[in-house]
């Protein structure tokens, strides 16, 4: 199973401005990304209640459907590039949530975000570490 380890820290906007000045990041050229993300669920928050999060993210070039499972620091993650703005059943059938999502037409958008993200990528001990600062707006 693909695995993602994630640690999120919420900062005041003033502190976020200083993030790029950290000694470790000063010599790394960050990437700036903008994207729109829509989150989907079934009636009664069925996915959420079972520990799943389903989203479609559009970065202007690609649409990526992502299903995440678990809660906290370590999560399962299934991603696929898709052609439309809504989840696609063919890709969801390959995930552990397939039994819950028997009909993608029953999925509804719950909320969406517009995100501006600045990313610094570090390579350490054979792993890529992505540090990101972002500003999100609920759309």
**pLDDT mean by block of 10 residues, the chain; 139 residues:** 68 76 84 96 96 96 94 80 96 94 95 92 85 84
**pLDDT given for residue 85 in this prediction:** 95
**pLDDT given for residue 129 in this prediction:** 86
**pLDDT given for residue 72 in this prediction:** 62
SS3 40: strand
**pLDDT given for residue 16 in this prediction:** 72
Q: Are strands 63-69 and 52-58 parallel, antiparallel or unpaired?
A: antiparallel
Q: What are the structural domains of the chain? A: 3-138 (2.40.320.10)
Could you say which DSSP state residue 84 is in? S
**pLDDT given for residue 74 in this prediction:** 67
**pLDDT given for residue 131 in this prediction:** 85
Hey, which bits of 20-69 come out as E strands?
Answer: 31-41, 52-58, 63-69
Alpha-helical (H) ranges within the chain are 13-18, 46-49, 89-92
- For Cα atoms 19, 117, 104, give the angle at the middle one, nearest 5 degrees: 145
Tokens at residue 53, please? 């999060």
**pLDDT given for residue 4 in this prediction:** 63
SS3 46: helix
């Amino acid at each position: 199973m693909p695995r993602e380890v994630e640690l999120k820290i919420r900062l005041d906007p003033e502190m976020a401005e200083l993030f790029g000045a950290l000694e470790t990041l000063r010599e790394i050229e960050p990437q700036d990304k903008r994207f729109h993300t829509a989150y989907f669920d079934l009636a009664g928050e069925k996915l959420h209640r079972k520990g799943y999060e389903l989203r479609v993210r559009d970065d202007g070039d690609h649409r990526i459907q992502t299903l995440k499972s678990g809660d906290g620091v370590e999560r399962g993650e299934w991603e696929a590039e898709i052609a439309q703005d809504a989840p696609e059943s063919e890709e969801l059938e390959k995930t552990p949530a397939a039994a819950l999502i028997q009909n993608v037409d029953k999925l509804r958008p719950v909320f969406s975000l517009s995100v501006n993200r600045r990313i610094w990528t570090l390579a350490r001990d054979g792993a890529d570490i992505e540090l990101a600062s972002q500003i999100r707006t609920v759309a």
